[in-house]
Structures are given as C-alpha cells and as structure tokens.
C-alpha cells in the first residue's frame, strides 16, 4: 500500500499567484521561456528555466544555471512573493479546460514506494535529462515541479474531494490558455489523517507524466539518506512533490510525429511501401481530421491528408506494447521504411503534442518537413496495463492535458 505525506508548501501569496505560475519546464524551450518571462520578474520560469537570466550562449546545464535558479527562488522568498505555510498540509488542485475537469491531491510521494515499484512507471528516462533534474533539485533544495501521478479511482476519495472543493480556495485563476486553476489547503488533523488512511488502502500509483522528475527526486533523496547518519525516514527528502489524480478524470491527447525527409524515397515509392501493412486512402478534402479509432492513423504528405489503417495480421493484437498505435507506426513504418530506429536519438523525427492541433502538422510539412502522422490517443487503461506488467511504452506515447502549472506550490527538502 502506498504512503503519502503532507508538507509545508512554499507558494505564492494570493495576489501574486498569476504573476508566478508558469508552464512546466519541459513544455517550453529556452527561447520561448525568455519571451514569456520578459518584463515578468516573478515568473516561475526564472526558477525552473534559469538560463533565461544568463547570456544566451551559456549551456543550460552549466553549474551557473542551477545556482541562478536557487538565487531566484531565494529572491522570491526574500521579497515576500512566496511564503511557506506554517504547518504541514495536503492541497487539492483542480484544473478545468473546456468540458474537462480533474482534481488531484497535492502530496509528498514516497521515494521508498518508487524504489519498491509501488509507484509504477511506463517510460524509460534519459540519463542526460535525469542528471539535469538531479542537479536542479539538489541545488535548489526543492521539488519545483510536481510529478503527475494517478491511481485507480476510489469512491471514498471522490467523496472527500467533493467536500473539500465546496470550501473557499487559496487560489482561483485562469491562465493565458483559458485553463482554470484552483487550489485548496487541508490542514485539519482529522482530515489529514483521513486522507492518509484512504491512500494506505491504495495498491499502487502510476506515473502519468514526470518520469524524470520522479526519478531525480528519488535519487536526490537516496543521496541525502546515505549522507545522513541520523536518518529516520521522516525527512522531507524522503518524498517528492506530486499531484495525484483519479484515473477516470484524466484526459490523454494524441502525441503525433513529424519526419523531416522520406529517407531517399520518392513519394510514389513511399506510398507503395507503406501499403504493405496499411490500407492507404487519400482524402480529397484538405482540412485535417483526427483518427476515429485505434489502429487508424492520419498522414499528411505533399499537401494532402491520407487515412492509414493497419492491416489485420500486421501486428500482434495480444501484445500490450506491440499493439499500441505508436508501436505499430514505429515498427511497420518509421523504422523499416523511413529508417528511424531509435526515435529518442534520431534528429530526423520530431514530436508534436495534440494540444497544438493537426494544423500544426500540416504547417510543419508545408514549411519544409516531409511527412506527418496523427495518432489515436493512448488510453489510461493501456498505460496502467503496461505499467502493471513492468513494461515500458515507446517514447512520447502520451500527452496529458491540461498541464499542471509550476510555481503554484513547491516542496522544500528540509
């Protein structure tokens, strides 16, 4: 059973939360972050993308970058922009995007649960990204970005959440992309104990988004545990910042692919080769349209949209990994035809989150890339089934929306 912990959240004052809250560090690049934080001295991007405050030719992995992040976080506290709650609490974080509403518990997730696979993963991490987050967490002495976790929904937790959201929130604001963010604090001892007790009956948690953040938070905790001769297990470094949502509230969007060239093939050769494993149907209407079911894809090539349907027998339907749409595309087209063996390392492929729309795919191809593919979204049930078997999904399999804002709450490690 999983263990969670309340904590003394470091968070913006209510009148400053909209100035501070920012996109997560990994959904904007350094140049985008510079533009977004321009004339916004208290944007949390100064903490999670601190290279924006240094010369552009600085490596984002230079030690000076991490020191700058710590300096900026300390400045936010010194200036009274962010304050730490006096007693430990759980928090509830609701996001509303259109007709999608999801409310999660903000808590410390146990690194011991992570080590023992009670927090289950579905993606591999990259060593360079892991090292970056380790240095960030260790230097700032904080988890600055929450890990997005999920669990199989429980009626008792749904009922408790329903009671909490009837009370006045700490924050309630709308971000630039029309997503509403609301945060509540729960520090009454009886309610805190009730929440802990409910989660003590939860079998496991799943990493939905934030594999590098959860891995780095765990590694920093392990390092501090080893260095502390008086370690008790109750120290804050034994937990990392998380927001834990019931699985039936989550919304996964498509995670699409753009390839820069056709691997030396002509358009006709390419279409002939893909017809071996896919039914290929051109669409006269040039407007984009989403795949309507699993194992169906959309392809944009030379100004035209195509419908690709995986042929029966072209993939093992009973294999939880190879039957994923992203695996079918990778194994039957991207690798054998376009020569993209490892999409994590090949710079000929790029990944486009579904929030950008299919228009982004056609614009990329019209602008010089060769071909784009739109996929049917992976389901949360598929994600959990893969994680339950200890397997790993292909990279960039899921795109969750709405995204958590960074800076709304921070977990300090001491």
Q: In this predicted model, what pLDDT tens digit does every residue of 284-335 receive, in sequence order? A: 777 778 999 999 999 999 999 999 999 999 999 989 999 999 999 999 999 9
Phi-psi region of 320 (alpha: psi -120 to 50; beta: other; left: phi over 0): alpha
Are the CB atoms for 373 and 246 separated by under 8 Å?
A: no
Name the phi and psi angles at 299, rounded to 5.
-130, 135
- pLDDT value of position 126: 82
Query: Which residue is associated with the tokens 């994680």?
Result: 387
300: closest CA among 217, 215, 364? 364
**Total residue count of the chain as it appears in this document:** 414
Tokens, residue 253: 């969007």
State pLDDT tens for residues 239-269. 999 999 999 999 999 999 999 999 999 999 9
Domain range annotation of the chain: 4-251+401-412, 255-376
State pLDDT tens for residues 78-90. 999 999 999 999 9
Name the phi and psi angles at 114, rounded to 5.
-65, -45
pLDDT band (50, 70, 90) for residue 186? very high
- The DSSP symbol for 322 reads T
Give the span between the Cα atoms of 272 and 386, in whole angstroms: 33
Under DSSP, is residue 355 helix (H, G, I), strand (E, B) or coil?
Answer: helix
State pLDDT tens for residues 128-174. 889 999 999 999 999 999 999 999 999 999 999 999 999 999 999 99
Q: Does pLDDT of 209 surpass 80?
A: yes
Give the span between the Cα atoms of 265 and 52, in whole angstroms: 41
């Amino acid at each position: 059973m999983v263990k969670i912990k309340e904590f003394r959240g470091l968070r913006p004052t209510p009148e400053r939360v909209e100035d501070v809250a920012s996109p997560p560090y990994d959904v904007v690049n350094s140049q985008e972050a510079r533009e977004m934080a321009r004339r916004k001295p208290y944007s949390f991007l100064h903490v999670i993308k601190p290279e924006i405050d240094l010369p552009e030719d600085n490596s984002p992995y230079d030690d000076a970058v991490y020191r700058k992040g710590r300096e900026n976080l300390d400045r936010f506290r010194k200036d009274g922009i962010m304050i730490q709650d006096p007693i430990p609490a759980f928090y509830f974080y609701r996001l509303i995007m259109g007709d999608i509403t999801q409310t999660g518990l903000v808590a410390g997730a146990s690194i011991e649960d992570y080590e023992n696979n009670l927090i289950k993963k579905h993606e591999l991490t990259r060593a360079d990204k892991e090292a970056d987050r380790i240095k960030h967490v260790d230097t700032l002495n904080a988890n600055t970005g929450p890990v997005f976790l999920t669990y199989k929904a429980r009626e008792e937790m749904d009922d408790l959440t329903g009671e909490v959201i009837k009370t006045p929130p700490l924050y309630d604001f709308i971000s630039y992309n029309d997503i509403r963010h609301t945060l509540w604090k729960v520090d009454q001892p009886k309610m805190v104990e009730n929440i802990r007790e409910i989660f003590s009956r939860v079998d496991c948690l799943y990493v939905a988004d934030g594999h590098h953040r959860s891995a780095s938070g765990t590694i920093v905790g392990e390092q501090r545990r080893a260095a502390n001769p008086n370690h008790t297990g109750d120290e804050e470094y034994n937990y990392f910042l998380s927001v834990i949502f019931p699985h039936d509230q989550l919304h996964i969007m498509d995670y699409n692919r753009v390839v820069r060239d056709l691997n030396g093939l002509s358009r006709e050769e390419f279409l002939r080769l893909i017809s071996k494993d896919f039914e290929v149907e051109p669409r006269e209407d040039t407007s984009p349209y989403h795949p309507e079911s699993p194992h169906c894809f959309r392809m944009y090539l030379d100004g035209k949209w195509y419908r690709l349907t995986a042929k029966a027998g072209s993939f093992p339907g009973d294999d939880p990994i190879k039957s994923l749409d992203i695996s079918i595309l990778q194994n039957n087209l991207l690798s054998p035809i376009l020569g993209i063996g490892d999409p994590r390392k090949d710079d000929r492929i790029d990944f486009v989150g579904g929030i950008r729309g299919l228009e982004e795919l056609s614009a990329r191809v019209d602008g010089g890339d060769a071909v784009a593919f739109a996929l049917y979204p992976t389901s949360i049930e598929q994600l959990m089934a893969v994680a339950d078997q200890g397997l790993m999904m292909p990279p960039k399999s899921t795109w969750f929306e709405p995204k958590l804002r960074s800076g709304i709450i921070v977990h300090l490690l001491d």
